[in-house]
Amino acid sequence: MFTALAIKYRPSVFSELIGQDSISQTLSLALDSGRLGHAYLFSGLRGSGKTSSARIFAKSLNCDQGPTSTPCNECANCKAAANGRHLDIIEMDAASSRKIDDIRGIIEQTKYAPTMGRFKVFIIDEVHMLTRESYNALLKTLEEPPSYVKFILATTDVLKIPPTILSRSQHFRFKKIPPRIVLNHLINILNKENIPYKQDALEMIVRSGGGSLRDTLTLLDQAIIYSKNSIEAASVAQMLGILDPILLDSLFEALQKEDKENVFKIAEELESYECEMVLEEIANHLNESLRNGNNLFPLVTIDRFFRIITDSKQLLYLNANSSFVLTLSLLKMLEALKTMNIEEMIKNLEHEIFGKTNAIKAANSLPTPASYQESSSKNAKPTPIITLPVSEPENLFAQLKTKIYDRNFELGECFEKHIQFISFIDGVLSWQSSATGQCKERLKNSYSMIKHFVQEIYSKANNGQEVRIQLEQNDSSHTESTAQQEEFVSHPEKLIQKIDSSQQKEIDRLLNIPIVQAANQFLNIKDIVIKKGKLE
């Protein structure tokens, strides 16, 4: 006689419970140590083992060798419990028996001692379906039941249970069973049943089961019948109404080659499926490729694909046309690949610009043969640009500029216009600054951030050691300012003329020049300026 796999392979002891190791261990220790509560609450996803655990616990309490975590399954109590005929293990479905009269019947039974076993155990399934009056009637008995009474409550929606019930029970939360554990369990069952299978077909069944072991075993039963005792991916996909992995592989190959025509052909086949399911399968396929290391696309592109799928699901929630959403999603995936190419082009262009600038400098510094000059003037052809490799330190300096631009565009402009690379020798980065006014202030305020970027970029070239920044003096500006200062010392009236035609900031700057301050002690320039009314 045929028996469903979910019933045939239902666990009979805690060691057979799948994916709930912490709960199995806690209940086993409670049974072996004799530290037993009067009420237990099992909550979690359907098919996660709540009812099975309740039955194993009830059987363990009443076993002739018990209470024990390993019931013998041979005594009269164990056999009666396994067959569902134990007089002292009462199961009630609160979804159908939820009224106060049903609860009063349970309360009445608690007054009588066990008939067969050691404890009278009440298992109330889907306890969240009880009415408020039923909960109130159960409270007193649940809090102080007779010593021979145990309550085990099971629910898939713990949020609907009143706090007064929760506070009177030991709460065990059954987690969603990981797909890997479910897959191994299916393989073990099929090996015992001598049924051939393909692992990718079992993975499809596990995904469809959604973490519920009972649902997964029900689907496995269906797949065995549909596949005629040989579980293949194509037949399982057809049975479940989900995508064949081969079709998904073809789709991603067409995307990788940017074959728009082939993508549209595959899209026509995909329109026969639910759009939301197609998007979910595409996401699962990308997830599996990431875990297996078989990704056809860079990580950035896969990230864009997931964003596209998320946006498309939102469109479906707004009741958008499913065919339109699917076509739009695939077109956006094609565009995401082009976007990647554009980014590469931008990087190449940046490298070309920085490289060409240094190449032109190098070319201009090379001597040009006279014969070449004559031939070029005769033929009137443009002088070819000599492409020279850019030195590594200057390449790093170009990266530094790009990083600063990415952080703050205005700061990047100031840095590029006024900071000139000099050298990078023995861990010392030397540059020259011609910044003034707001640019100088901005560079000064952002120095710590610039220094951080310098360490990040140049430390590798310095064997991981800290890089020191050295600011070189601008000789031309220094000579010019020194000459101007000497002129002001010799002719203070020119300083006054300069002050007359400038703004307040210029006045402050001039008066802070060290040589002018020294001259001021002898020539009383400040007094002359005050008389002119510029500083009052």
Please give the share of the chain, as a percent, with pLDDT higher than 70. 78
* The pLDDT of residue 247: 84
What does the pLDDT look like over 389-417, one tens digit per residue?
Answer: 344 777 888 888 888 888 888 888 888 88
- H-helix or E-strand containing 271? none
* The pLDDT of residue 97: 82
376/164 Cα distance (integer angstroms): 98
- State the CB neighbour count (10 A cutoff) for residue 529: 21
355/206 Cα distance (integer angstroms): 55
Using left for φ > 0, alpha for ψ between -120 and 50, and beta otherwise, residue 86 falls in: beta
Strand order in the sheet with 170-174: 89-93, 120-125, 149-155, 39-44, 170-174
463/185 Cα distance (integer angstroms): 52
Give yes or no for residue 159 having a pLDDT over 70.
Answer: yes
Say what the alpha-carbon torsion angle 458, 461, 463, 466 is, to the nearest 10 degrees: -20
What does the pLDDT look like over 31-49, one tens digit per residue?
Answer: 999 899 999 999 998 888 9
* The pLDDT of residue 374: 44
* The pLDDT of residue 322: 87
3-state secondary structure 121-132: EEEEECHHHCCH
Alpha helices for 366-445 (secondary structure H): 370-379, 392-407, 409-418, 437-445
What does the pLDDT look like over 217-233, one tens digit per residue?
Answer: 999 999 999 888 888 88
* The pLDDT of residue 464: 72
Domains and CATH numbers, the chain: 5-175 (3.40.50.300), 180-335 (1.10.8.60), 392-472 (3.30.300), 476-531 (no CATH)
Both tokens assigned to 417: 């216009």
* The pLDDT of residue 188: 93
Q: How would you class 46 by CB atoms within 10 Å of its CB: exposed for 0-12, middle for 13-18, buried for 19 or more? A: middle
Parallel, antiparallel, or unpaired: how do β-strands 39-44 and 170-174 relate?
A: parallel
Residue of 193 and 343 predicted with greater confidence: 193
* Range of lowest pLDDT (112-116, 155-159, 373-377): 373-377
Confidence of residue 453 (pLDDT cuts 50, 70, 90): confident
* Range of lowest pLDDT (160-169, 243-252, 300-309): 243-252
Q: What is the DSSP letter of 369?
A: P
Q: What are phi and psi of 311, to 5 degrees?
A: -65, -40
- H-helix or E-strand containing 155? strand 149-155
CA angle 444–447–451, rounded 5-degree value: 160
Give yes or no for residue 338 having a pLDDT over 50.
Answer: yes
* Range of lowest pLDDT (174-188, 189-203, 290-304, 497-511): 497-511
Cβ(266)–Cβ(254) under 8 Å? yes
Whole-model pTM: value is: 0.56
Give yes or no for residue 58 having a pLDDT over 90.
Answer: yes
Give yes or no for residue 502 having a pLDDT over 70.
Answer: no
Instruction: Tell me how far apart the 2 most distant CA atoms of the chain are, in Å.
Output: 121
Q: What are phi and psi of 502, to 5 degrees?
A: -120, 175
Amino acid letter, residue 182:
V
425/117 Cα distance (integer angstroms): 88
46/56 Cα distance (integer angstroms): 17
